[in-house]
Amino acid sequence: MSATPATTLWFARHELRLAWRDWLAMMTGGRRRRRIGLVIGLAIAAVVLHLLAYGLALPWLRAGIVFDKVTLLVVSGAGFTIFTVMLSQAIEAVTRVYYARSDLDLILASPASSRRLFAVRTGGVWLSVSALSGLLAMPLINVLAVFEGPRWLAGYGVVAAMGALATALALAITVLLFRLIGPRMTRLIAQIVAAVVGAGFVILIQGAGILYYGSYSRFTLFEAPQVLAAVPEASSWVWLPARAVMGDWPSLLLLLLVGAACLAAAIGFSAASYGRLALSTTGLSHVHNRRAPARRAFPAGSQRQALRRKEWRLLLRDPWLVSQTLMQLLYLIPPALLLWINFGEGNSALIIVVPVLVMAAGQLAGGLAWLAISGEDAHDLVTTAPLTPATILRAKVEAVLIAVGAVMTPLLLLLALSAWPAALAAAVCAAAAASASTAIQLWFRMPQRRSMFRRRQVASRAATLCEALSSIMWAGTGALAAVGSLLAIGPAVLALLTLALARFLSPRHNR
């Protein structure tokens, strides 16, 4: 029996159906034959993650888990780390609720209630954020439940409560940004806030551990005697979430009630303005206040220079790209601190810093290359320009590599101040990784809209795997070269073989 149209249940079924189709298309690329491989891959990943979780929890299991300040602090720190990641995801998802067009115009123009639609879509954000974090925490929770007792299954309830709190806070942040800076800048600033929130706490913990204890582990700070002496006693209400994770059912019930109340209040407060704010993202409500832009002459330069400027301008306008680039740069802070602390005391820091830089260059180049080469919204306009295809592709590749170089150069110069041989190795390997990723995207190019960026990994499994393997091999080459080891030749050869394999498997080669 179908639900009555425009009711909350009807909207929920509609949103769940769309979410399921979107996820399935993202994971399989729209090909039915890949579904069996997806099931097998997920099963293998689940087994591997449970084995890793068992190895992580084994020291605790052998020593016996007790309800002391050390355990409560470690559990709270790990939980807060997960919460910041959930908040980052929730901010990004809530932003899409306001900015995603699709069927929004049709629904808002119908007699259906926009408040019900907003409530359902916000509930979908809570469900997706909680489900993803629950899947990530599932191996550790299951291992602890098997070996320490079923009370640890309460961790799933804590994840649901944290998801509700994160969604409510994300709603408050997004609405506040709308009111402070308007719809034009909200999407960009929200993406930046999401990146900073997602990486900030992890970087803070790692940075504090490096500065005070010389360790890269994020758990070192939680076990430090000075920190244990400063935190409240085990009976304090501060540890309520940690006690809920460890099976204290009254604490879990209170946490669930608080999360549900905060989410309901946030939805009730924001639902009334949803239709107005969502429509304002199109800019139609401000047309009468806008003046016609003054005409400007095209800047002087060659056609390739004009194409490069066009690519850079589009990249700078992409909110997702800005946030992801910022997050990659933020994650380079702990290795830089480790290098600074350990400079002159050995090569251990170089083994961490150099491969991180190389991997960042390869991954950034892959994303930029896809956006510039495959994610061309004006593909017909560009291809009909009075330029040869080779000139267009050359300008796009130059724009990508120059952009990557602009991001990496300050970091490499900072590294050169401490250890110039390592900086030279990192520069060479980063350039190789960026060039390889760009070449792979060029060989496997297929025109798509920029909005399909999240699904680019399933467009070609071969391209994704080759790009990842190439970056990993060049990172290994840089790490070994930075410490002066001749073993760097091995991963460099493997990186070149990976690039040759990608060229052989590419559709351009097989035509």
The tens digit of pLDDT for each residue in 453-501 reads: 555 554 566 777 888 888 888 988 988 888 888 888 888 999 999 888 8
* CA atoms of 107 and 62, how far apart (whole Å): 57
Domain contains 419: yes
Q: What is the pLDDT of residue 257?
A: 95
Same domain, 402 and 491: yes
pLDDT at residue 260 is higher than 90: yes
On the 0-12 / 13-18 / 19+ scale of CB atoms within 10 A, 394 is middle
Residue 10 neighbours by CB under 8 Å, 6+ apart: 2, 3, 4
DSSP state of 482: H
pLDDT tens profile 265-317: 998 888 877 777 776 766 544 434 444 455 555 565 566 677 777 766 766 66
Q: Is 3 part of any domain? A: no
* Residues contacting residue 98 through CB under 8 Å, at least 6 positions apart: 174, 178, 183, 186, 274, 277, 278, 281
Q: What is the DSSP letter of 236?
A: S
Highest mean pLDDT among 260-264, 311-315, 343-347, 375-379: 260-264
pLDDT in tens, 354-413: 888 888 888 888 877 877 776 665 666 666 666 677 777 787 888 888 888 888 888 888
Q: What percentage of the chain carries pLDDT values higher than 90?
A: 8
Lowest mean pLDDT among 76-85, 251-260, 280-289: 280-289
151 lies in the same domain as 200: yes
| End-of-domain residue from the set 227, 249, 284 | 284
Specify the higher pLDDT residue, 166 or 371: 166
- Say if residue 45 is in the same domain as residue 76: yes
Please say which residue of 249, 284, 319 terminates a domain.
284
Residue 264 is predicted with a pLDDT of 92
For 253, the token pair is: 């019930």
Does residue 301 fall inside a structural domain?
no
Q: What span, in angstroms and rounded, lies between the C-alpha atoms of 169 and 122?
A: 12
Q: How many domains does the chain have?
A: 2
What integer is the mean pLDDT of 346-355?
66
Residue 12: domain span: 8-284
pLDDT band at 194 (very low <50, low <70, confident <90, very high): confident
Note whether residue 475 is domain-resident: yes
Report yes or no: 476 and 47 within 8 Å, Cβ to Cβ: no
Measured between alpha carbons, how far is 499 from 466 in angstroms, rounded to an integer? 7
- Which one, of 352, 488, 328, 470, lies nearest residue 415 by Cα? 352
The last residue of one of the domains, among 284, 316, 338, is 284
What's the residue count for the chain? 511
Q: Which comes out higher in pLDDT, residue 489 or 352?
A: 489
Residue 369 domain flag = yes
Q: Are residues 363 and 225 in the same domain?
A: no
Q: Confirm whether 247 is domain-assigned.
A: yes
Average pLDDT over residues 248-264: 92
Model-wide pTM > 0.75: no
More confident residue, 29 or 439: 439
CA-CA distance, 198 to 216, in Å (whole number)? Answer: 18
Per the CB < 8 A criterion, the answer to whether 240 and 251 are in contact is yes
Highest mean pLDDT among 145-154, 296-305, 498-507: 145-154
Which residue did the predictor score with more confidence, 168 or 214?
168
Nearest to 490 by CA among 474, 501, 504, 502: 474
Whether residues 261 and 215 share a domain: the answer is yes
The verdict on 232 and 340 lying in the same domain is no
Please count the other Cβ atoms lying within 10 Å of the Cβ belonging to residue 505: 18
Please report the pLDDT score of residue 289 as a whole number. Answer: 43
For residues 268 and 392, state if they share a domain.
no
Amino acid 429: pLDDT: 92
Do residue 340 and residue 269 come from a single domain? no
Residue 344: pLDDT band with limits 50, 70, 90:
very low
356 shares a domain with 221:
no
Same domain for 219 and 360, yes or no, is no
- State which amino acid sits at residue 510: N
Banded pLDDT at 1 (limits 50, 70, 90): very low
**Residue 405 covered by a domain:** yes
Stronger pLDDT, 3 or 497, i.e. the higher one: 497
Residues 129 and 246 in one domain: yes
- What distance in Å separates the CA atoms of residue 222 and residue 227, rounded to the nearest whole number? 7
pLDDT in tens, 30-52: 566 666 776 787 788 788 888 88
Q: Which of 63-77, 257-271, 329-343, 396-410 has the lowest mean pLDDT?
A: 329-343
Q: Which two tokens stand for residue 154?
A: 């309460």
pLDDT grade, residue 187 (50/70/90)?
confident
pLDDT given at position 34: 65
pLDDT of the residue at 165: 93
402, two tokens: 């120059």
Answer whether residue 168 shows pLDDT above 90: yes
Provide the mean pLDDT of the chain. 75
Kindly state whether residue 367 falls inside one of the protein's structural domains.
yes
**Dist CA 222 CA 72 (whole Å):** 10
Mean local confidence (pLDDT), 256-267: 92
Do 261 and 326 fall within a single domain? no
The span from the CA of 502 to the CA of 162, in Å, is: 42
Most confident of 171-185, 217-231, 342-356: 171-185
Residue bearing the bigger pLDDT, 419 or 275: 419
